[in-house]
A and B are shown apart, each in its own frame.
Chain A
Amino acid sequence: MDFTPDDEQQALREAVRGLLATTYADHDARRRTVAEDPGFSESLWGRLAEMGVLGLPFSEADGGVGAGPVEIGIVCQELGRVLAPEPYLASVVHAGGLVAACGTPEQKTDLLGRLAAGEIVLAAADTSPGARWSSANEGVRAAVEGGAWTLTGVANPVVAGDRADVLVVAAALPDGGTGLFLVSPDAVECTGYAAADLTRAATVRFDASAATPLGEPGRDLSASIATISDLTRIMGANQALGVMQSQVRATTDYLRSRKQFGVTLNTFQALTFRAADMYVSLEMAQSMVDWATMTIAGGDPAVVADAADRVGLTIARTGRHVGQEAIQLHGGIAMTAEYAVGVGTAHVEVLGQWLGNGGHHLGRLAARVADHEMVEAV
């Protein structure tokens, strides 16, 4: 039992933090970056690749580093800390995770090697308009004729879809189940847009678009898709934690420095008590994030799925509490796009609505309450 990162993990955190600071030393840099295509810094992406960060989750045989979930979580926390818009979750954790879990050896070596090297961006198209966090994607249908696969339908939102070099698409198989396919952006109509936090997503329309099955053709991959989604949720929780840590820090700094009525705000007990409650929420969230991240190493998909729901619920609740209070305690300044605190609240909400919101996770947990006597931490 140990909740303390070891020296190497600490060194990774400092290295990633240092690298991110070269691009996002202040929020203004983030604003400028998201305002221009592709919505993130290609140069920073390349340097993340050089540092080995983009290959962290993948085996050395596939061109990666073979690191564990704690390391990936640390990267996500640091990205969240500065609201980095780089599509690490979407491209490396989610789409890359699908390739690593389901691809043939050749597909893995090719795609993950190039992803780790920063040569390509992947995006997972696994959600259709109106769908909510399912491992089945009914909105895109696969067809096969003479061994040639095509896809038809619409995927949206496809996070990082407008910049992707290869789309990893979930589609309903002709004989039932859900398969995964690799699709070139040239074969689809892709319309990019910005989400509330100004990170990018896209609508992707498939019209008998040529597709290559990922892994064995025609096989139902729902279980793998669900597990990779759960892993992505847990890493998304790490990213949200980084955002919230920054918000609590910014709020306490602000309360110490901002003067009203001739005194600093921290002289008003009503405000400091609310900050104390934010800290309590944050500590609880940190515990859940650390725990959920560590469950991944055990390798049991059911345990990971449970942990994803639990941390998802906690982060949803904490995100609203910390994010709303951070804005309220800052006052008007946090309503502006110039200031990171309010944008952080948007970012946490975007992560949650993309990967699974509080109601979704609570519903899943509620359905299982009679299955156990009590929830065990270890």
Chain B
Amino acid sequence: MQLELSATDTDFRARMREFFTTKVPQEIRDTVLAGRHLGHDQIVESQRILNAEGLAVPHWPTEWGGQDWTDLQRHLWHEEMQRAGVPLPLAFNASMIGPVIAQFGTEEQKERFLPATANLDIWWSQGFSEPDAGSDLASLRTSAVRDGDDWVVNGQKTWTTLGQYGDWIFTLVRTDPEVKKQAGISMLLIDMTTPGVEVRPIELIDGGHEVNEVWFSDVRVPGDLMVGEPGQGWTIAKFLLGNERVGVAPVGATKRALARLKSEAGDQLDDPLVRARVAELENDLLALELTALRVVAHSSDGAPHPASSVLKLRGSELQQAVSELALDLAGPASLAARADDDSPQEDWARRAAPTYLNLRKASIYGGSNEVQRQIISRTILGL
């Protein structure tokens, strides 16, 4: 057992820190560090800077821009981005559809989509969830019916995050209603400018426009835009949801949020009760960070680690707990959440309530925390 990073990893971390803090525009990083929302153009600009340096999609196969890093190096890359306030590469592109196309796509699909996906020339949306298919994703009903060389898609997707920016959407559709429900699902790549695709915003409790409904009415999708074979969609979706071991717990971002809150708290940090809450959270975050390091340092076979569920569960709880502390420290100032910019209340305090409300999602998305408990009790504890 050895606590220190190796010289190679220490150098690697220093190189990441140097790049992230000097090459990504300060204004973008300040926006992230302050917890404000990034615009479309900032996210694109940042990812292109990373991509030019080979830092946007390091976990992809090397022939498509990946780096042959260890899990620990990927972890360090991810943590340093969060620490520096660099927007993480768009997850839909970098973590979800990119690896899927690289694994299951045809050569034509790879050449057409992968470079554009890495560089965020295409902004992908995720079309998985439906009104009656959340955690029970296999119940999805959006249909795709063969018509000559094309598929004709009808149905509705929901919770499509940042779908308002989407150029393309990777979509799970039911291509065979007759077989067992998992077996009748396929994955289609759909150009969102195709006639019949309609994006409708959903307003959330934090007042933001982050998710959307996407409606498909007789949308014609060329047959060469199916990923894998008909009926392979469920396998592909499991690959997509399971292949991410690094970064399931946003440790760096939560640590940064707590550190910032300490500096914003001012006199309140003199209150022993506040200090105790901070100390407890710092300790829990340290335990989470060390657990993430244990997971990435342990196996290198690339298979999903069952402890990912532990990290997701605890990571979302702590992310939420820090936002609760922020709201409590903001107090009455938090009421000014939707006041004009000339509000006398401080910026961080005005963001506290929306952030707290927004982060309730963290224990719902990506497999709700109840699903994670199910995974832990079944696959780890054998219950």
Contacts and interface: CB of A to CB of B under 8 A. Distances in A.
Nearest to B251: A377
A60 to B, nearest CB: 22
Given A284-B291, A366-B276, 15 more contacts: A1-B9, A1-B72, A1-B293, A272-B373, A272-B378, A273-B370, A275-B383, A276-B373, A276-B374, A287-B293, A290-B294, A291-B290, A298-B3, A310-B283, A369-B278
Contacts of B383: 252, 255-256, 266, 272, 275
A148 interface: no
A273 B371 CA distance: 10
A291 B282 CA distance: 15
A354 B314 CA distance: 29
Interface stretch (A4-12, A37-45, A158-166): A4-12
A288 interface: yes
A247 interface: no
A1 B70 CA distance: 12
Contacts of A290: 1, 290, 294
B9 A314 contact: no
A1 B377 contact: no
A302 interface: no
Q: For B282, B284, B307, which residue has the most chain A Cβ atoms within 10 angstroms?
A: B282
B2 interface: yes
A14 B302 CA distance: 29
A269 B276 CA distance: 34
Contact of A4 (B1, B72, B255, B307): B1
Given A362-B280, A367-B275, A373 B259 contact: yes
A204 interface: no
A377 B6 CA distance: 14
Contact of A277 (B269, B307, B373): B373
A3 interface: yes
A250 to B, nearest CB: 12
A186 B56 CA distance: 73
Going nearest first, the 4 A-B pairs with the smallest beta carbon separation are A287-B290, A272-B377, A365-B279, A294-B3
Given A287-B294, A362-B279, A362-B280, A280 B310 contact: yes
B181 interface: no
Contact of A252 (B290, B314, B382): B382
B70 to A, nearest CB: 10
Nearest to A285: B287
Interface in B337-380: 370, 372-374, 376-378, 380
B33 to A, nearest CB: 12
Contacts of A370: 262, 269, 275
A369 B262 contact: yes
Contacts of B380: 279
Contact of B280 (A1, A279, A313): A313
Contact of A279 (B6, B287, B310, B374): B310
Interface residues of B, number: 50
A285 B314 CA distance: 13
Contact of B282 (A1, A277, A293, A369): A369
Contacts of B2: 1-2, 294
Q: For A3, A256, A363, which residue has the most chain B Cβ atoms within 10 angstroms?
A: A3
A367 B276 CA distance: 8
B314 A3 contact: no
B280 A288 contact: no
A362 to B, nearest CB: 6
A294 B5 CA distance: 13
A160 to B, nearest CB: 29
B52 interface: no
Contacts of A310: 283, 286
Contacts of A252: 381-383
Contacts of B310: 279-280, 283
A70 interface: yes
A374 B293 contact: no
Contacts of A285: 287
Interface string A337-376: 0000000000000000000000000110111111001110
23 contacts: A4-B1, A6-B1, A252-B382, A266-B383, A276-B372, A279-B380, A280-B310, A284-B314, A285-B287, A290-B290, A295-B3, A314-B284, A362-B276, A365-B279, A369-B262, A370-B275, A374-B259, A374-B282, A375-B286, A377-B289, A377-B290, A378-B3, A378-B4
Interface string A311-332: 0011000000000000000000
A291 B3 contact: yes
B294 A70 contact: no
A369 B9 contact: no
A374 B377 contact: no
B148 interface: no
A196 interface: no
Interface in B270-306: 272, 275-276, 278-280, 282-291, 293-294, 297-298
Q: For B4, B6, B373, which residue has the most chain A Cβ atoms within 10 angstroms?
A: B373
Interface in B23-78: 72
B17 interface: no
Q: For B259, B374, B376, which residue has the most chain A Cβ atoms within 10 angstroms?
A: B376
B81 interface: no
B283 A365 contact: yes
Contact of A366 (B5, B256, B275, B289): B275
A3 B285 CA distance: 18
Nearest to B256: A374
A136 B80 CA distance: 43
Contacts of A1: 2-6, 9, 72, 293, 297
Contacts of B378: 272
